[in-house]
Amino acid sequence: MILPECLCKGLWCRMGFTGHLNGKMGKTMFCHRYKFMIHCVVHALSHRKGAYDETSDYIMNIITCLVLNIPYNVSKVIFEYLIENVKAGSTKYIMYPRFMMMMIDDQFKDIPKDANDVLGLRNMTADTISRLAKGPEPRVKRMICRINNPAYVAPENDAWRHGNSNSEYENEKMNEMTEKKTRCWFVKDGKRKRTPKTSPVVPIPKEPAPKIVVKGIVKGGVIRAFERTTTKIS
């Protein structure tokens, strides 16, 4: 299932996203509680080994479904990427979410491991949470939808809020969004379309650097002073 881009970004605005909707969708643009939730989903379910501050399109889909209480086939997403990595014929076939490593360890307890190649996991503490609090925190947003109410029922017709919702409206921020028709990670005929590692950024034109011109020093690629000196010596 592919969620419309406007549905994902509309919900993210409700959650307090403070960045540009046409740029990178980073977890740093949320208050600490939502930032921590996105941090956990990215680390647990993404198929990457870096750039954890940014969220891919399919991670946005998963988070949107978790918050709105919409069923989503997470297993299909994971195995699609596993199959793609195997077919790529490179060492990337070993890239998979961390929770799958836990499943493998549970089923095969005697698999030899290189201690220098295993990333140790620690329980979340106040110290590790404090690392997520870099810079000023965006305005705190209250928990909404399924996170606040386990019995929450998702809105119909690809809406990200019910008509009688009492949370702040995000229409003004949504006006800046330019929908990208090609950002689905599956295409309609069922063939796979690779998700870019990062969302495209709106380019900002740069002013050309001023040219520094020193008159009377260069003539045909040869310094005039050197040319005069050479003439006197000869």
**pLDDT confidence band for 64 (50 / 70 / 90):** very high
Q: What torsion do the CA atoms of 53, 58, 63, 67 make, to the nearest 10 degrees?
A: 150
Whether the per-residue pLDDT at 119 is higher than 70: the answer is no
The domain tally of the chain equals 1
Rounded CA-CA distance 50/108 in Å is: 27
Assigned domain for 225 exists: no
pLDDT in tens, 141-158: 788 999 999 999 999 998
- Per-residue pLDDT, 170: 83
Assigned domain for 61 exists: yes
Q: State which residues form the domain around 45.
A: 5-206
pLDDT in tens, 37-50: 998 898 888 877 77
Q: What is the Cβ-side half-sphere exposure of residue 169, based on CA atoms within 13 angstroms?
A: 6
Assigned domain for 25 exists: yes
Whether the per-residue pLDDT at 199 is higher than 50: the answer is no
Assigned domain for 15 exists: yes
Whether the per-residue pLDDT at 184 is higher than 70: the answer is no
Assigned domain for 161 exists: yes
Of 2-6, 10-14, 117-121, 156-160, give the lowest mean pLDDT range. Answer: 117-121
Of 1-5, 120-124, 228-232, give the lowest mean pLDDT range. Answer: 228-232
pLDDT in tens, 70-105: 999 988 888 887 777 778 776 655 666 666 777 888
Rounded CA-CA distance 80/76 in Å is: 6
Q: What is the pTM of this model?
A: 0.64
- Per-residue pLDDT, 222: 41
State the DSSP code for 78. H
Look up residue 96 and give its two tokens.
């998979």
**pLDDT confidence band for 136 (50 / 70 / 90):** low
Assigned domain for 228 exists: no
H/E segment holding residue 223: strand 222-223
Percent of residues, the chain, with pLDDT higher than 70: 62
- Per-residue pLDDT, 10: 92
Assigned domain for 166 exists: yes
Assigned domain for 48 exists: yes
